[in-house]
Amino acid sequence: MRHGINPQLQIGETLIEDIQFDTHSRDDIPQVLRGLQQIYKDTKTRDAIFEQIATVVIAKTDSETGRPGMSLWCVFVLGVLRLALNSDYDRIMELANEHRTLRQMLGHGIFDEDKRYGLQTIKDNATKLTDEVLASINHEIVKHGHTGCSDKKIKPSSVVAIPL
């Protein structure tokens, strides 16, 4: 059965809230991951996003049989990264398998070196994020951004909207 996120922290795994980013990097990947980290910290927004993703990802699966699929968080992170970077699935697969900070964001620790994402797995899951689902997710992210910025907790530049 799929789950939103794995509730059990594994040995060598870093909490997503504690992931450190290179503040001097001018690349777009750390900026996107920082925005995803802010969304992850807000459980209300995160749960609303998981509901939207679950409607299309889990819709035709039997929760009692089969193997566990990619978590909803991984589907969300890889889908957002693909859209934000405007890249193909081959690059997303390479990043998911080799980029250390992205692997931490996906919930992998130092003992998960052998956990790899296949190209077809990424395609099968990320393509389920249709325009309608992305529009509803984008609405939740914008709501999160408005509440976060009005509380002065989050800088407006750290709120990431999903490009459609």
> Which residue in 42, 133, 150, 144 sits closest to 159, CA to CA?
144
95: confidence class by pLDDT, cuts 50, 70, 90: very high
**Whole-angstrom Cα distance, residue 56 to residue 54?**
5
Neighbours of 128 (CB within 10 A): 16
SS (H, E, C) 102-115: HHHHCCCCCCCCCC
The confidence score (pLDDT) of residue 148 equals 63
pLDDT in tens, 50-83: 999 988 877 666 556 555 678 899 999 999 999 9
The confidence score (pLDDT) of residue 1 equals 41
Could you state, in order of their start, the residue ranges of all structural domains in the chain? 29-158
The half-sphere exposure of 36 on its side-chain side, counting CA atoms within 13 A, is 27
What is the average pLDDT value for the chain, to the nearest integer?
83
* Residue 121 near residue 37 (C-beta atoms within 8 A): no
> Which residue in 137, 110, 129, 105 sits closest to 41, CA to CA?
105
Percent residues over pLDDT 70 in the chain: 77
Q: Per the confidence metrics, is the pTM higher than 0.85?
A: no
**In the predicted model, is pLDDT for residue 143 greater than 80?**
yes
